[in-house]
Structure 1
Amino acid sequence: MTTKIASGLERAFATRGFAEPSVEDLRDAAGVSLRTLYKYAPSRDAMVRLALEHRHQRYLEHVFGDPTKSSKQGLNETLDRVAGWMRAEASHGCLFHAAVASAPDDAILRELLERHKAEVSQMAVARAGSDLSISDLMVIVEGLTQAWSLTKDAALTSAKRLAQLAEMAPV
């Protein structure tokens, strides 16, 4: 039940933003009664957090595959998968950044954003077996996701070029 609700909430926030949907809209998106919605997410803030946690897991699975496997994945493949996510799921940019922008003083949302970005960067470095630092990779992936809405595949080409240059540069 939680996955169904979280999925519906994620879709609603991704398509309509964080301010626009009413609680009734969110209930409809989740496909449950208002009572059930409040049982799993007792406030609008809790609904946003539930949606973002769901988004985080879906993103990790899309970009890195099965989280229980520690298989190697080249950096270009990781960047291709990020671009695939952007094409299919986030053509307007990062939902985590949008959430923080909608409530800049919400420390919990900021922590979710920071955790999401850190886990993505750490997993990308670990899977790629690269000598790039986590910070370097975060900048490359963030550049790709932020530039996507403006330049699409050109952002992917640039991210791959920057990753290649960074791997060749002395530390």
Structure 2
Amino acid sequence: MSDMMSKISEGLERAFASQGFAEPSVEDLRDAAGVSLRTLYKYTPSRAEMVLAALENRHQRYLVRVFDDLPEDPSEALDTILTRVGDWMATESSHGCLFHAAVAAEPGSQPLRALLEHHKAEVAAKAAAATKLKGADIALLLIIEGLTQAWPLHSEAALDAAKRLGLSLLSPDR
């Protein structure tokens, strides 16, 4: 991704995360990206492309923040992953998942649905690999998604519950 596209994607992500997908005008999105309208449309020729660019940026940031430099021990890795998801929710996304919000805003969009599916599959696969829980991708995703959705109502209590559920997956008699 070019430096200009990164700049635009970062600004668009911030705008959609703070204002939702319906509210920001093209001028708001241009201002958030810090470029001219001509440059914005050169790199993202439609609002749909703007949303996809923002979500792709978010996908990459999330993966780095949650999965980079994890401990080798599966139990410690799981604790770290869930702690980082809680930190993400506290600082980046206190209202829930931006990918789900995008699909809810435009439910008929196949590109949005495909990006949502790709994001969630990669999160699940990375969590399973880091915790050495082969075949537990969906269970781990369910815990992470549950934490993400419960965070706005329960914050730290949701994190504690997610960690308890995660530890149950690591027990030998699961």
Range class of TM-score, shorter chain: over 0.9
Q: Please say if 1:7 is aligned against 2:26.
A: no
- Contact 1:80-1:156 within 8 A present in 2 as well: yes
Displacement of 1:129 in angstroms is 1.8
Displacement of 1:125 in angstroms is 1.0
Match for residue 152 of structure 1?
Answer: 155
Q: Please say if 1:127 is aligned against 2:130.
A: yes
Q: Secondary structure at the match of 1:152?
A: helix
Displacement of 1:164 in angstroms is 1.2
Question: For 1:53, which of 56, 62, 85 is the aligned residue?
Answer: 56
Q: Please say if 1:64 is aligned against 2:67.
A: yes
Q: Quick one: percent identity of the two aligned structures?
A: 59
**What letter matches 2:19 in structure 1?**
R
How far apart are the structure 2 equivalents of 1:18 and 1:52? Answer: 11
TM-score normalised to structure 1 length: 0.93
Match for residue 99 of structure 2?
Answer: 96
Q: Secondary structure at the match of 1:74?
A: helix
- Contact 1:132-1:167 within 8 A present in 2 as well: no
How far apart are the structure 1 equivalents of 2:81 and 2:51? Answer: 27
Displacement of 1:170 in angstroms is 3.8
Q: Secondary structure at the match of 2:13?
A: helix
Displacement of 1:136 in angstroms is 0.6
**What letter matches 2:153 in structure 1?**
L
